[in-house]
Structures are given as C-alpha cells and as structure tokens.
Amino acid sequence: MGALYEKMSRDLRLRNMSPVTSKIYLACCSKFVRFYMKSPAEMGLTEIDAFLDMLGKQDLSPSMRRTYVASLKFLYGVTLDRLDVSSKIPWPKVAVKQPDILSGTEMAWILTAITQLKYRVAMATAYGGGLRVSEACRLQVGDIDSKRGVIHIRAGKGRKDRSVMLGDRLLQTLRQYWSLVRPRGPYLFPGGKPGKPMSPTSLRKALYEAVAKVGLKKRVTLHLLRHSFATHLLESGTDIRVVQIILGHSSIRTTQHYTRVSTRHLATRKNPLDLLGTPDGSVLG
C-alpha cells in the first residue's frame, strides 16, 4: 500500500485506535491489496464485494469477517474519503450465540488448578475486575488503589480510563502475592523480558491447562471470564448500568448484548400474573 499504508496508519492514530486494532486493520487491508495487486484508490464496491465473498468461503470466525469489513470501511470512509463506497459495504450477518457462562464453582476450580502463583493471581484479577486480557496483563503496581477500593484501568479499549471494583478477597490475594513475589519494574505481572508485562498468550496457556486439568467441557476463554463476571454481577442484583460502567461500555446496548440473564436469575423474578389480585399486585397499578 506504500504511502496509503502510512496515511491509514496515521489516521488510525489520530482517531485514538489502539495499537492492536491498528495493526489488525492494516493487515486486513494489506491482504485486500495483495488479492488484487492494485491500489484501493483504483477499486470500489465490485472488488470489495468479490473479496468479501472469497473470505466468506473460508473458515473464518464471524468476528474476523466483521473485522475485515470494519477495516475496509475505515480505509474507504476515512483514509480515502469515499463515504459513497464505505457506507455501502455490507456487514456480514452472523448468528449471535450465547456463550456458556462459568458457574462460581467452576471458576473456583479453575483458579485452584493454576499452580503458578503469578498466573493464578492474574487470572483472579481478570475475573474479579471484569478485565480484558490486555488490561489484566498491563496492570501496574500503582493501579491498585487499596484506600478507595478500586483498580484503575489506564488506556483501556478506545484509550479510555476507568475504575473497577477491588473486592476484599482480591485485595488480600494481591497483598499476599506482593509479599511473596515483589515484582520488579512497574508491572504487577511482569513478563519474561525485563520491563515488559506478562504476555496474553502466556495467560491463555495457563487457563487452557487449568481447564483441561479440571475436565471442563465448556469452551473456556479469557474473554469468557469477563462474560461470567458480568453475568454473576447481574445475578447478585447489580444494576445493569453499573455493570456498563464497570465493563467500560459507551452504550448500554453493548452491555445488554455482552451479558446474559441466566436462567437462575430469571427464575427468581416474580411473574406479573402471580401478583394479580394480591397485596403485592398494587405495584402494577
């Protein structure tokens, strides 16, 4: 892509896109260019549709197909300033599947199965704060605010800062970890290289090994811990708008899509039919 690559890279930075997202968008658009060996400026909807059709025949995940669309929309809508093309690139229709949520017991099994202290505490922190894997790995010692009872997340998704809850049990766990490990450098969970944080790949590996050890049949990922955290908050009676703030979502609709109301939560709700003709039914008017 040459000069266009540099312009798109600059546009991504100006719009405060994360380095990871920028790298993925640029890679997707580079693949589009290599597919035709032509400049995007010389192409339009016909080539885009054919490229997306080719991708649709490959074994790509729904989220990856949406990422290709998002990157091409950015390329044409922002970098090339061709909104007439960008607005007509169709989003792929994908089935929305509810993930299997971990129960509290299953979460406890997983944490117990992780033998290496650093990974066990990092996993507990990711679940206990509803953190994204990158946020958990990049935590610094100064982000733990024991006086206010919160964890400060610096430059999360969308480069936004936020604070999440720091429970008593997690604080105690972190204090024990600190007294035993005393990590050098700024990062709470340092990686193998000096001055670098723990790798998300390393944390994922620790999770997969723990899941295999306890024999769980569910498809467990680090992101599922975030789903489970949000669902457990809802089950415990936390208002969904509070969950929205903790997760760092700009829109309540994202939170509604991201979380699910469990069958146990539904079973505890009073059916309006049961209230008719009873003293409690006065709330219905």
pLDDT value of position 238: 81
Instruction: Indicate if 265 belongs to the active site.
Output: no
Decide if pLDDT at 272 tops 80. no
Judge contact between 132 and 156, C-beta under 8 A.
Answer: yes
Q: What's the pLDDT band for 48 if we cut at 50, 70, 90?
A: very high
232 flagged as catalytic: no
Q: How far is CA 150 from the centre of its chain?
A: 20
Q: Of these residues, 65, 73, 120, 226, which one is catalytic?
A: 226
| Mean predicted confidence (pLDDT) in 257-264 | 54
The confidence score (pLDDT) of residue 259 equals 55
| Token pair belonging to 239 | 């208002």
Note the pLDDT of residue 283. Answer: 56
Q: Which two tokens stand for residue 124?
A: 């507990």
Token pair 């219905």: residue = 284
**Given 13, 223, 253, 264, the catalytic residue:** 223
Rounded CA gap, 148 and 42, in Å?
56
Q: What domains can you pick out in the chain, each with its CATH number?
A: 3-86 (1.10.150.130), 104-266 (1.10.443.10)
Question: pLDDT tens digits for 138-193?
Answer: 999 999 999 999 999 987 676 678 888 888 899 999 999 999 999 888 999 999 88
The Cα 151–Cα 140 span in angstroms is 10
Contacts of 174 (CB under 8 A, 6+ apart): 121, 125, 144, 188
What band does 205 get if pLDDT is binned at 50, 70 and 90? Answer: very high
Report which of residues 92 and 260 the model is more confident about.
Answer: 92
56-80 pLDDT per residue, tens: 888 888 888 999 999 999 999 999 9
Of residues 216 and 98, more confidence is placed in 216
> Do 67 and 61 contact (CB within 8 A), yes or no?
no
Contacts of 26 (CB under 8 A, 6+ apart): 5, 8, 9, 12, 71
Residue 258 annotated in active site: yes
Of 41-55, 69-83, 230-244, give the lowest mean pLDDT range.
Answer: 230-244
Mean pLDDT (the chain) is 86
Catalytic, out of 65, 120, 138, 249: 249
Q: Give the residue-averaged pLDDT of 70-91.
A: 95
Q: What confidence tens digit (pLDDT) does each residue in 112-147 have?
A: 999 999 999 999 999 998 899 999 999 999 999 999
For 40-59, what is the mean pLDDT? 92
Active site residue 82: no
Is 269 a known active-site residue?
Answer: no
Phi, psi of 145, deg, nearest 5? -105, 90
- Give the pLDDT band (50/70/90) at residue 197: very high
- Asked if residues 187 and 140 have their Cβ atoms less than 8 Å apart, the reply is yes
Q: Residues of the chain with pLDDT > 90: what percent? A: 54
The pLDDT of residue 269 is: 55
Would you place residue 268 in the very low, low, confident or very high pLDDT band (cuts 50, 70, 90)?
Answer: low
Handedness of CA 166, 170, 174, 175 (dihedral sign): positive
Predicted TM-score (pTM) of this structure: 0.68
User: In degrees rounded to 5, what are phi and psi of residue 43?
Assistant: -120, 170
Considering 73, 120, 132, 232, which one is annotated as catalytic? 132
Q: Under a CB-based contact definition with an 8 Å cutoff, are residues 26 and 5 in contact?
A: yes
* pLDDT above 70 (res 257): no
Which pLDDT score, from 0 to 100, does residue 94 have?
65
Q: Residue 252 and residue 245: Cα distance in Å, rounded? A: 9
For residue 274, the model assigns a pLDDT of 60
Three-class SS state of 76? helix
Q: Which residues contact 273 (CB under 8 A, 6 or more apart)?
A: none
**Residue 219 a catalytic site member:** no
Within 10 Å of residue 67's Cβ, how many Cβ atoms? Answer: 17
* Residue 105 contacts residue 115 (beta carbons within 8 Å): no
| Predicted pLDDT at 210 | 96
